[in-house]
Structure 1
Amino acid sequence: MPVDTGTSRWFLREPSPESGIRLFCLPYSGCGATMYRKWPRFLGDIEVCPVQFPGRENRFREEPYGTYEALADDLVEALLPHLDRPFALFGHCGSALPGYETAVRLAERGYPAPDRLFVSSQVAPHTGPQGRFLEMSDAELAEEVRTLIVQLGGAPRPDLVELSLDILRADVEANKRYHPAAPVRLVCPITALGWNQDVEVDHRLMASWSDCGETEFRVLDGAHYRFMDAPDELLDVFARDLGRPVNAY
């Protein structure tokens, strides 16, 4: 039986002691950690570690976070016991920004730094907030929730839509509140991922990530939700940018 480190609520499964490097994957707006269920657990020796935020799925009784800064404050402490080997952070759209804030907090507290921060389909922190979700009504957001639930392979039952809408609204409000005047430049490199069919965030709007640290830009084939299918092109980026053999999984 795995040892309870006191951080287990942040993970659907405890990170494995067999991994060579851990990729902590933060959930998309309105979603929980199960959104990564199509991803393999291991890419060679890279372990995919989906992170569970408060207020969703098995943590639905907890209050959702109010700001990305508050979320990062708690998340770095939850991650700390698992930073005993190389690691990286991944966030798509609304979760890219708390991913960045988490990297900032790790540096501020003198904790281990990520080998790399992967940000997908999101503008740099000091150039936002940006995106059509910010101006949507609850009815419009509910329709997006239904689409997302179907995309994840579920049935959009009214109770599930209502619960997910509450989470999505909280995420959208946190995004609205987040507008740092100037970015903190990270010590770790950044990979900024855009998608050539993305109508939510045009990849050409992501150039300012270079203000946040040494940044490599990559444009992948697909639309906004393509990442959830774990396309080989995305998995190859993780392996290549983390110095692992490509397609060794």
Structure 2
Amino acid sequence: MTTPSPTRPKKPRSLLRRPDPDAAARLFCFPYSGCGASMYQRWPRWIGHVEVCLIQPPSRQNRIRDAHYETYEALAAALVEDLAPYLDTPFAFFGHCGGALPGVELTRQLDAAGLPVPRRVFVSSQVAPHDGPYGRLLEMNSDGLRDELATIITSLGGEPNGSLIEMGLELLVNDIEANKRYHVDAPLRLPCGITAIGWADDPEIPIQLMGGWLKSSDDCRYALLDGGHFEFLDAPAELLTEIELDMTDKTATPTPGDA
């Protein structure tokens, strides 16, 4: 008589792939506004000992039929339940621009629920919540957003065309509306460290605008990396080094002007 193999846990809908149960640490990555988890296709599966886990919000790609989350608070509430089985090892959140803020809200909700909190939140090209909402896309009309979507598709290696852009426009608009709704009057105090990442050739969110993160954590470190707004898509070595460093060591805390 054969012994049945243990049942593998079902992959949460909020993750593009099932995490490795033996991972020593995990980095949960949120997609950029208007995009899905596959935007991280050029990233490695592992950064040193850290497994890269891709979050897939509803209303895109394999979750195209799922209703949009509408607010970061609602998205975080769903993720608290979905990610709970995978918070059994040191973990962190990464997000770029509009994708950075859901990780902040999720950290707040995990802390409020008495659940494990991330070792670090990596925020790339985004102002602190009490300094926002901020960004060029937030003020664009539909024509401007169509042009922006074409730029995003090209940056991801795709070929923008009318049908693809029209299909993605509603998602981009809904993601931007969620960004607009997320504002706090006073700095959110996170129970973990923050690494605020700016890009030297990024006109969208210069690192000088990211000083508010210092008020959100007693352990806030700044890093200014080479490249423009979409440089992170290529998983540059500089970025991966910063992530691996902060998942293992404590470092000094320079101010934004010193970065």
Same fold (TM over 0.5): yes
SS in 1 for 2:100: helix
Which of 164, 169, 172 aligns to 1:165? It is 169
Question: Which residue of structure 1 aligns with residue 38 of structure 2?
Answer: 34
> What SS does the corresponding residue of 1:190 show, helix, strand or coil?
strand
Letter in 1 for 2:221: E
> Residues of 1 paired with 2:85 and 2:186: CA distance?
30
The within-5 A match list for 1:67-146 is 67-146=71-150
What's the secondary structure of 1:8's corresponding residue? coil
What's the offset of the Cα at 1:183?
2.4
1:225 paired residue number: 230
Of the three residues 51, 55, 61, the one matched with 1:51 is 55
Offset at residue 173 of structure 1 (A): 0.7
C-alpha distance in 2 between matches for 1:186 and 1:8: 26
Residue in 2 aligned with 1:216?
A: 221
1:130 maps to amino acid? Y
1:247 aligns to what?
none
Q: CA deviation at 1:5?
A: 3.8
Aligned equivalents of 2:7 and 2:105: distance in 1?
29
Deviations 1:121-161 (A, max 9, x none): 00000010111101101111011111111111112132221
Aligned to 1:241: 246
Who is 1:188 aligned against? Answer: 192
Alignment gaps of 5+ in structure 1: 245-249
Q: How many Å separate the matches in 2 of 1:52 and 1:81?
A: 16
Distance in 2 (CA, whole Å) between partners of 1:169 and 1:230 is 26
Letter in 2 for 1:243: T
Query: Could you say what the CA RMSD is over the residues aligned between the two structures, in angstroms?
Result: 1.5
Regions of 4+ moved over 4 Å: 1-4
Q: Which runs of 5+ in 2 are unaligned?
A: 250-259
Counterparts of 1:9 and 1:163, CA distance in 2: 21
Structure 2 residue identity aligned to 1:187: P
Deviations along 1:207-235, whole A, 9 cap, x unmatched? 01011112101111110000000000000
Q: Secondary structure at the match of 1:72?
A: helix
Structure 1 range deviating more: 6-15 or 192-201: 6-15
2:252 corresponds in structure 1 to none
| Equivalenced residues, count | 244
Distance in 2 separating the partners of 1:144 and 1:229:
19
Secondary structure, in 3 states, of the residue corresponding to 1:117? strand
SS at match of 1:9: coil
Q: Matched residues in 2 for 1:193 and 1:159: separation? A: 34
How many percent identity over aligned positions? 52
SS at match of 1:89: strand
Pair 1:4–1:181, CA change in 2 (3 A): farther
* Structure-2-length-normalised TM-score: 0.91
Amino acid at match of 2:143: A
